[in-house]
Amino acid sequence: MKRETSEKLFKHSVNVIPGGVNSPVRACKSVGTDPLFIERADGCRLFDADGNSYIDYVGSWGPMILGHRHPEVIKAIENVLNRGTSFGAPTDLEAELADLVIDAVPSIDMVRMVNSGTEATMSAVRLARGFTGRDLIIKFDGCYHGHADTLLVEAGSGVATLNIPGSPGVPEAVTQYTLSLPFNDIDSVKEVIEKRGAEIACIIIEPVAGNMGMVPPAEGFLEELRAITEKNGIILIFDEVMTGFRVAHGGAQEGYGISPDITTLGKIIGGGLPVGAYGGRREIMEHIAPQGPVYQAGTLSGNPVAMAAGIATLKQIKQPGFYDSLNEKTERLVKGLKNAADSAGIKTTADSIGSMFGMFFTGQAVDNFADAKTSNLELFSAYYKGMREKGIYLAPSQFEAGFVSAAHSDEDIDTTIKAAEAVMGEIA
């Protein structure tokens, strides 16, 4: 495959943008290569600047559940452009998207729109602290909740990929209120709550972890978290920025039948434009300004173009049977990838929940971040590069999830499995 144009564009970008990218993992550093520059995308395919085409399992890191350039989403964006691009005053579109979110996610009575997942989680934690009058928060190792200071502790995603222990620039005074515990370990949660329960404002968790690779919750873990937080007046925040509208229409909370106090959303609800949101029980949400004292604001929040893309997307995925066929395709893909590894004698642990999937290059079960880190990263890099060379575009990190979209056909899945069989054979 030709790479000259991507290489040239990267050389220029590195000179004017730190690392040549506007988000770290895109740089492909951990897999020992350079990024492809994308010219355009359509359906499940990406086309790079050199004219190569790829079947895309990154989906812009989660939002593109309908695939790229879905006609209804493009039409909605084009239509709203005739009205203008930003007013800094309310529009009908904000409540329309709010209604779609509230209808889908059972625990949300009210929702506030922001511009990214980072803003959503940062604001949700502030709200939990404001509501409870407590300062401590609990998160879990390997979960990523965006890059706000308080949440950059033992974080997943790029922080894990680049092996950054914490981040310079985040004062200890800020992170002293953040306790990070092992994912799926209810005993350590109980221990901390026993000692300091009355100081803890919230527990924030990815109900299905997707930023240390994909790690599902252990049987009963989320139920126990719900019970113990309720008993101790601690706000339970489900960070569903990735899982919302992805693992089920109503998110992981619908799938596992658990009602958190606050939910954060992003990715899919923006239909490929920058949107985040946080919502929850009415009595909690009423603490947000201007109704209550907890301050949070945004010049471009509820942006009409982003709202229109989100509305069009959420309308499409409401259609009956949407998730059944998507999930089936994902299951078949993961089985195929796992079989390809097995046949080559490569030990892997692979799984999918809804249309979110992951594969670790380790023989052991993966229940937490420590387990995830036993994955053979050299093998992963070789796999990543081999697949890319065969026209399959995966996240350039072991510590990320993959996504299937409605635009992937059975044939695309077959092509991907065939590529994996060849690559696994080469790297074994």
Q: Catalytic residue positions?
A: 144, 239, 267
Distance in angstroms (rounded) separating the CA atoms of residues 402 and 386: 16
Quote the tokens at residue 48: 């790079």
Choice between 100 and 209, CB closer to ligand PLP: 209
Quote the tokens at residue 68: 């790229």
Options 47-55, 114-122, 284-292, 336-344: segment touching ligand PLP (CB under 6 A): 114-122
Q: Does 241 bind ligand PLP (CB under 6 A)?
A: yes
Helices 71-81 and 304-316: angle between axes, nearest 10 degrees: 150
Q: Shortest approach of ligand PLP to residue 113 CB, angstroms?
A: 13
Distance in angstroms (rounded) separating the CA atoms of residues 309 and 270: 6
Choice between 10 and 278, CB closer to ligand PLP: 278
Q: Does 266 bind ligand PLP (CB under 6 A)?
A: yes
Q: Does 211 bind ligand PLP (CB under 6 A)?
A: yes
CB-based burial, 155-189: b 16+ in 10 Å, e otherwise: bbbbbbbeeeeeeeebeeeebebbbbbbbbbbeeb
202 phi and psi angles, rounded to 5 deg: -155, 160
Which of 45, 126, 129, 145 touches ligand PLP by CB under 6 A?
145
Those residues whose C-beta lies under 8 Å from the C-beta of residue 183, and which sit 6 or more positions away, are: 140, 141, 142, 143, 205, 209, 212, 215, 367, 368, 369
Report which DSSP code applies to 38.
E
> Binding string, 165-194, against ligand PLP, x = CB under 6 A?
------------------------------
Which of 239, 351, 367, 371 touches ligand PLP by CB under 6 A?
239
Q: Which of 397, 427, 403 is closest to 31 using CA atoms?
A: 397
Options 105-113, 158-166, 238-246, 290-298: segment touching ligand PLP (CB under 6 A): 238-246
Options 116-124, 171-179, 289-297, 344-352: segment touching ligand PLP (CB under 6 A): 116-124
Which of 64, 97, 242, 337 touches ligand PLP by CB under 6 A?
242
Q: Does 118 bind ligand PLP (CB under 6 A)?
A: yes
Choice between 204 and 420, CB closer to ligand PLP: 204
